[in-house]
Amino acid sequence: MKTTIKTLAVSAVAATALLGAGTAMAEGERYVLVSHAPDSDSWWNTIKNGLALAGEQMDVTVEYRNPPTGDLADMARIIEQAAASGPNGIITTLADPDVLSGPIRAAVESGIDVIIINSGTPDAARGLGALMYVGQPEYDAGFAAGQRAAGDGVSSFLCVNHYISSPSSTERCQGFADGLGVDLGNQMIDSGQDPSEIQNRVTAYLNANPDTDAVLTLGPTSADPTILALEQIGLAGEIYFGTFDLGGDIVNAIRDGVIQWGIDQQPFLQAYLPVVVMTNYHRYGVLPGNNINSGPGFVTADALDLVAELAGEYR
Amino acid sequence: MSSTDAAVDERIKETSKLRKALIRPELGAIVGTIAVFAFFIIFAGDSGMFNAQGVLNWSTVSAQFMIIAVGACMLMIAGEFDLSVGSMIGFAGMSIALISVTLQWPIWVAILLTFALCTAVGALNGIIVVRTGLPSFIVTLAFLFILRGFTIFFPQLIERRTIIGGISERAEGDWLAPLFGGKIGNGLFNWLAEMELIGVFTRGNRMGEPIVDGIPMLIVWAIGLMIVAHIVLTRTQFGNWIFASGGDAQAARYVGVPVNRVKIQMFMFTAFCACVFATCQVMEFGSAGADRGLLKEFEAIIAVVIGGALLTGGYGSVVGAALGALIFGVVQQGLFFAGVESSLFRVFLGVILLFAVILNTYIRRIITGER
């Protein structure tokens, strides 16, 4: 009997504590990040971690949402719905302006502050009434990478595009081709998202086009299977290999000399900074005066240790 | 002997009214709908899910599911599957985009041609199934890949990209486009906003206008399709033919039902529904993408099964399928409102599907008396 009373008392205290915590949270600002990534895209884990860390440090509620299959029309619905739930701010990507600008503009006009991250351009963000754009200008990043590769003597390449339905993926390949000073033509393949399919297609392309100088991948989804493909056909370390974005396998491959460089757009900052910026804006009314370029930064075999330690988590 | 006695046929087994009310295919879906709404009113009641904007959000998502679920339901009752629905959505959208933007033909021509093309592909699906006797599962699986492949190939070949925009500009002033992308009830919502019953934009160039300014045609299509399909299925001879074709095709042939024709027509209807979905989507967003409609075929089938239809055919209800779509839409959007981690959505989906199937199997056993 005594124990029962004790249990009751303890649970009552616990319940009160929980309730107390609940009200404290309700006073904090709430921010929703809507991405365009399908569940299967591991790269976005860094974004999730950056978002969670910012929420913790700034003492605000943060939520991450995405369309499970990567269908951008579904993403538009998620933005509409995030707006209906009345958050203080929405952080979202502009993967396809045609589909997303309507819902984003409606959110802005119903009084919710919006920051565009990752995909999109500073101009497009301004046009939608967003506070700012935090990300890496994709075409410029591809162009810079192309110039770098041209300096290293590359004149033809294969672009492994695992997300061909996103215009910004194609811009990366186009920028790279323009940076090299060659025509994109048929040098971009639609690899799909499945690792073994990507591996097979890369192998098939390189067998059919043996004079290809370089391989460009657009993220871990296409880079990891491409590394395997190159190892299998004995081109690992032989062919010039550059990639967008970082991940565990990519970092190892950079260290082993299979990949020459990775372009880090520092996704951590894309999730972390908007939360910090918006919280300070809502609390103290201060706002940085410009857009924030989170990348491009080239990661090479030099000074790789910190990157390696945090790859896939915060890098 | 009085006349009332004569009206009672001793061959018909007597069933109580309660039992009759219980053994309906949509029973599980009705119970599920009530349970789902009760759940979200308790856990997400103050999250904005039930304000005008929130209601419009989950209604629109449910209506999307409903449009393809109605087609899938009719086809499933006729005893066949269509796994190409999702690819058909992408294909239809891209067809409208290519015809209107690339070829610069008027939007109404693009829409009509696309409908003709899609129902023709649906008919082809059906003809292959009835001629070869292969399971529709396999035949339509093939079309899932074929259509998706074309949807990626053609825009890349012609326009060198996989998302084609600019359809909104082409659709301006078109007579047919508003039937899919328009909104109705604008006056009503303006009035509601004036009465301060719904929110208005607080800034920007639409300041003072209601946040919800009308009911999308998508929802009107969903309800219209459901009503028409329900009447055809339950009130017409053709409806009986559909049930018969799915229940026992051979027996149906013996009594003179044109089973092959019925099945082909149902494949065409499913394709038609997918095309309605795609047209509404393209008109609303103004662009077509190669990845649109991914996995939608399974979402349609799930809604139909939650709605009480039998995977083997011959049994089901359009109203049930529509309720299944409503449950699906409300759960999908509601979990976000309730603040549940979005990756858990699939877990909930699986659990609901499992529950629905178990409940429906139980109900069916009561009806048929099988053990």
Hey, what are B78's tokens?
């006729």
In a domain, A167, yes or no: yes
Contact B156 A81 (CB under 8 A): no
Entry pTM:
0.79
Of A108, A165, A170, the CB nearest to B204: A108
Contact A129 B204 (CB under 8 A): yes
Which B positions 263-282 lie with beta carbon below 8 A of chain A?
281
Please determine, for residue B20, whether its predicted confidence score (pLDDT) is greater than 60: yes
Q: How far apart are the first and last CA of chain B?
A: 40
Q: Which residues are bridge partners to A20 per DSSP?
A: none
Q: Under 8 Å CB-to-CB from A84, ≥6 apart: which residues?
A: B48, B49, B51, B53, B54, B56, B57, B337
| Same domain assignment for residues A210 and A284 | no
| Same domain assignment for residues A59 and A207 | no
Least confident residue range of B85-89, B352-356, B359-363: B359-363
Identify residue A43 by its one-letter amino acid code.
W
* Residue B157 touches chain A, beta carbons under 8 Å: no
Search chain A and give the residue with CA nearest B212. Answer: A106
The whole-angstrom separation of Cα B78 and Cα B300 is 16
Residue B370's pLDDT band, with cuts at 50, 70 and 90, is: low
In a domain, A158, yes or no: yes
Q: Which residues of A touch B149 (CB under 8 A)?
A: none
Of B48, B156, B281, the CB nearest to A84: B48
Please determine, for residue B365, whether its predicted confidence score (pLDDT) is greater than 80: no
Of A64, A99, A164, the CB nearest to B285: A99
| Same domain assignment for residues A126 and A165 | no
Q: Which residues of B touch A82 (CB under 8 A)?
A: 336
Which of A32, A90, A110, A138 best probes binding to B when mutated, by most B CB atoms within 10 angstroms? A110
In a domain, A56, yes or no: yes
pLDDT reported for residue B331: 86
* Residue B333 touches chain A, beta carbons under 8 Å: yes
Please determine, for residue B82, whether its predicted confidence score (pLDDT) is greater than 90: yes
CA–CA min distance A69, chain B (Å):
7
Contact B343 A39 (CB under 8 A): yes
Q: Which residues of B touch A129 (CB under 8 A)?
A: 204
In a domain, A231, yes or no: yes
Hey, what are A314's tokens?
């915060």
**Mean pLDDT for the stretch of residues B84-108:** 94
Q: Which residues of A touch B161 (CB under 8 A)?
A: 167, 170
| Same domain assignment for residues A291 and A239 | no
| Same domain assignment for residues A149 and A259 | yes
Which B positions 340-369 lie with beta carbon below 8 A of chain A?
342-343, 345-346
**Mean pLDDT for the stretch of residues B56-67:** 92
| Same domain assignment for residues A70 and A210 | no
Q: Which residues of A touch B287 (CB under 8 A)?
A: 96, 98-99
Contact A164 B57 (CB under 8 A): no
Q: Which residues are bridge partners to A215 per DSSP?
A: A158, A241
Q: What is the pLDDT of residues A235-275, one digit of tens each?
A: 888 899 999 988 888 888 998 899 999 998 888 999 999 99
Please determine, for residue B204, whether its predicted confidence score (pLDDT) is greater than 70: no
Of B162, B199, B201, the CB nearest to A165: B162
| Same domain assignment for residues A232 and A280 | no
Of A65, A108, A165, the CB nearest to B342: A65
Of B202, B287, B336, the CB nearest to A78: B336
pLDDT lower than 70: segments of chain A: 1-27
In a domain, A313, yes or no: no
Contact A86 B346 (CB under 8 A): no
pLDDT reported for residue B350: 84
| ipTM of model over 0.85 | no
CA–CA min distance A210, chain B (Å):
24
Please determine, for residue B100, whether its predicted confidence score (pLDDT) is greater than 70: yes
| Same domain assignment for residues A72 and A150 | no
Report the candidate in A196, A14, A170 with the shortest Cα–Cα distance to residue B289: A170
Of B53, B162, B211, the CB nearest to A164: B162
| Same domain assignment for residues A274 and A125 | yes
According to CATH, what is the number of the domain B27-35+48-368?
1.10.3470
A66 touches B342 (CB < 8 A)? yes
pLDDT reported for residue A185: 83
Residue B2's pLDDT band, with cuts at 50, 70 and 90, is: very low
The whole-angstrom separation of Cα B75 and Cα B265 is 9
pLDDT reported for residue B200: 75
pLDDT reported for residue A168: 78
The whole-angstrom separation of Cα B27 and Cα A129 is 48
Over pLDDT 70: what percentage of chain B? 92
The whole-angstrom separation of Cα A249 and Cα A226 is 11
Q: Which residues of B touch A97 (CB under 8 A)?
A: 165
Report the number of distinct structural domains present in chain A: 2
Contact A96 B287 (CB under 8 A): yes
| Same domain assignment for residues A76 and A104 | yes
* Residue B287 touches chain A, beta carbons under 8 Å: yes
Number of Cβ pairs < 8 A linking chain A and chain B: 114
| Same domain assignment for residues A125 and A69 | yes
pLDDT reported for residue B319: 94
Q: What is the pLDDT of residues B264-316, one digit of tens each?
A: 999 999 999 999 999 999 998 888 888 888 889 988 998 998 888 888 888 89
CA–CA min distance B168, chain A (Å):
9
CA–CA min distance B54, chain A (Å):
5
Q: Which residues are bridge partners to A63 per DSSP?
A: A32
**Mean pLDDT for the stretch of residues B120-138:** 95
CA–CA min distance A88, chain B (Å):
13
Q: What CATH number has the domain bearing residue A109?
A: 3.40.50.2300
| Same domain assignment for residues A191 and A255 | yes
CA–CA min distance A52, chain B (Å):
13
pLDDT reported for residue A10: 45
Contact A83 B53 (CB under 8 A): yes
Hey, what are A288's tokens?
């940085």
Q: Which domain holds residue A83?
A: 28-136+266-295
Search chain B and give the residue with CA nearest A106. Answer: B211
The whole-angstrom separation of Cα B200 and Cα A2 is 58
pLDDT reported for residue A196: 83
